[in-house]
């Protein structure tokens, strides 16, 4: 309880500063006659805030000897993602350098490390989003994944560019300083490409307009972000977020860009020697020859390409890689179903022919690793419905059963 200053003969006093009740604005009483004045409460609160802030800064500082090295980051990715060594190397180096940028102090010299935003190009289902999600498990910084397809130019239906930072703030529990050193993965970056290589005289609200809006985020500037997300309006209060230390990783399938790469490689072939060099080109994986010029011809504006200086690609997945994806990673699809059935006390097994059948169908549908999940789900749904209620301790998925379920799925889709 609190008691206002009163003039009494038996005046109480604060047990912290020793002043009497008449010398302080308020006196708070506790059990057994203990009391504290309002001035001491304010001072204690100030000390508490300063102490917590000091501890927060101490725990958020990065020390080079504690940072995961690029090889350690890649080794962690190898446990969950099959193949794509080149992309893993680029990502590991980019993230490690981002840590070092955050750990650098005001140097005696004038050398300031700049961030290198990264763009990953690869067919659908090759693991772009999985790489981003997996690396988030290893990070000490706020990490969020956003979809570029929902973004539109300010004033139009859709989400503003600033909504990217709103999500990062949510991950950081509203802590602006934490969010300002985070990492953002922008998926489907190819969907905001402008419709043609030439600048348009008409407004492209979900293409070039979004790219122009992303420039200030990628480059590094102070952006006003709505605290609750959503659209901006004049009377709203904003949170100022500095994107200077936010690392942006972009990913996209860029469907059809292989034709542009092939065209560029053909146009550079002049004379006999050039034709000989053309035969050395791996036509099954043209993505490995991608250059910023190809991104520009696809529809990304030169300014945004310049702010994504690190360009890497993901290899298409062959049958062997898909089979390994199905069974080897820590969170492999087959391991997930085996665990689900084990929770019901059932030992689940797959015939080797079933796994090869699933991979063949995924390659036939051209869905990459993403197709493995949908095909396996179609095979396993009826089993997951029936077996928990049945008196079964072991079950083996046969090739005949798998074929019947996939044929049923094809008939339903048709």
Given a cut of 80, is residue 403 above it in pLDDT? yes
Q: Which residues pair with 20 in a beta bridge?
A: 13
Q: What are phi and psi of 248, to 5 degrees?
A: -110, 125
pLDDT digits (tens, 9 = 90+) for 228-261: 655 555 556 788 888 988 999 999 989 888 888 8
Lowest-confidence range among 73-82, 272-281, 316-325, 331-340? 272-281
Q: What is the pLDDT of residue 62?
A: 55
pLDDT digits (tens, 9 = 90+) for 166-189: 889 988 888 888 888 888 999 989
The average pLDDT across 399-410 equals 87
Q: Give me the percent of the chain exceeding a pLDDT of 90.
A: 27
The average pLDDT across 52-69 equals 64
Q: Which residue has the higher pLDDT, 13 or 341?
A: 341
Which of 53-67, 150-164, 309-323, 345-359: highest mean pLDDT? 345-359
What is the band of 50 on the pLDDT scale with cuts at 50, 70, 90?
A: confident
What is the distance between the alpha carbons of residues 71 and 188, in angstroms, rounded to a whole number?
28
CA distances from 403 to 340, 359, 407 (A): 22, 13, 6
Q: For residue 286, give the DSSP letter.
A: G
Q: What is the pLDDT of residue 41?
A: 92
What is the distance between the alpha carbons of residues 309 and 316, in angstroms, rounded to a whole number?
23
Contacts of 406-414 with C-beta under 8 Å, sequence gap 24+, read 406/357, 406/361, 406/375, 406/378, 406/379, 408/378, 409/375, 409/378
What is the band of 5 on the pLDDT scale with cuts at 50, 70, 90?
A: very low
The average pLDDT across 218-224 equals 85
What is the distance between the alpha carbons of residues 87 and 142, in angstroms, rounded to a whole number?
21
What is the band of 1 on the pLDDT scale with cuts at 50, 70, 90?
A: very low
The average pLDDT across 371-390 equals 92
Strands (E), 83-136: 118-121
The angle at the Cα of 21, spanning 20 to 22, to the nearest 5 degrees, equals 90
Given a cut of 50, is residue 116 above it in pLDDT? yes
What is the band of 279 on the pLDDT scale with cuts at 50, 70, 90?
A: low
Q: What is the pLDDT of residue 204?
A: 54
């Amino acid at each position: 309880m609190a008691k206002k200053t009163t003039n009494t003969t038996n005046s109480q006093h604060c047990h912290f500063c020793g002043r009497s009740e008449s010398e302080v604005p308020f006196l708070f009483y506790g059990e057994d006659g203990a009391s504290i004045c309002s001035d001491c409460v304010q001072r204690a609160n100030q000390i508490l805030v300063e102490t917590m802030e000091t501890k927060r800064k101490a725990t958020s500082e990065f020390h080079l000897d504690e940072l995961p090295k690029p090889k350690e980051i890649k080794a962690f990715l190898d446990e969950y993602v099959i193949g794509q060594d080149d992309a893993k190397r680029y990502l590991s180096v980019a993230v490690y350098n981002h840590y070092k940028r955050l750990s650098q102090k005001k140097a005696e010299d004038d050398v300031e490390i700049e961030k290198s935003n990264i763009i990953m190009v690869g067919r659908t289902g090759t693991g772009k989003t999985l790489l981003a999600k997996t690396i988030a498990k290893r990070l000490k910084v706020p990490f969020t994944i956003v979809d570029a397809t929902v973004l539109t130019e300010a004033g139009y239906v859709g989400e503003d560019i600033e909504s990217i930072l709103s999500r990062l703030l949510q991950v950081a529990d509203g802590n602006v300083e934490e969010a300002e050193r985070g990492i953002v993965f922008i998926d489907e970056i190819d969907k905001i490409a402008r419709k043609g290589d030439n600048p348009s005289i008409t407004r492209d609200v979900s293409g070039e307009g979004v790219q122009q809006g992303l420039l200030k985020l990628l480059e590094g500037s102070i952006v006003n972000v709505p605290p609750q997300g959503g659209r901006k309006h004049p009377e709203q209060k904003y949170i100022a977020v500095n994107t200077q230390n936010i690392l942006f990783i972009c990913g996209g399938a860029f469907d059809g860009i292989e034709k542009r790469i092939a065209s560029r490689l053909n146009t550079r072939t002049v004379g006999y020697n050039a034709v000989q060099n053309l035969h050395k080109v791996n036509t099954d994986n043209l993505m490995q020859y991608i250059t910023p010029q190809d991104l520009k011809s696809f529809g990304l504006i030169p300014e945004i390409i310049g702010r994504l200086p690190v360009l890497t690609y993901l290899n298409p997945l062959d049958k062997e890689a898909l089979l390994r994806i199905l069974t080897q990673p820590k969170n492999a699809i087959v391991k997930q179903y085996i665990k689900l059935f084990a929770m019901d006390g059932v030992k689940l097994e797959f015939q080797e022919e079933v796994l090869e059948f699933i991979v063949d169908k995924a390659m036939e549908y051209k869905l990459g690793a993403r197709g493995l999940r949908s095909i396996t789900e179609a095979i396993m749904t009826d089993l997951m419905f029936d077996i928990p209620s049945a008196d079964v301790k072991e079950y083996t998925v046969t090739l005949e059963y798998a074929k019947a379920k996939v044929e049923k799925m094809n008939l339903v889709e048709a």
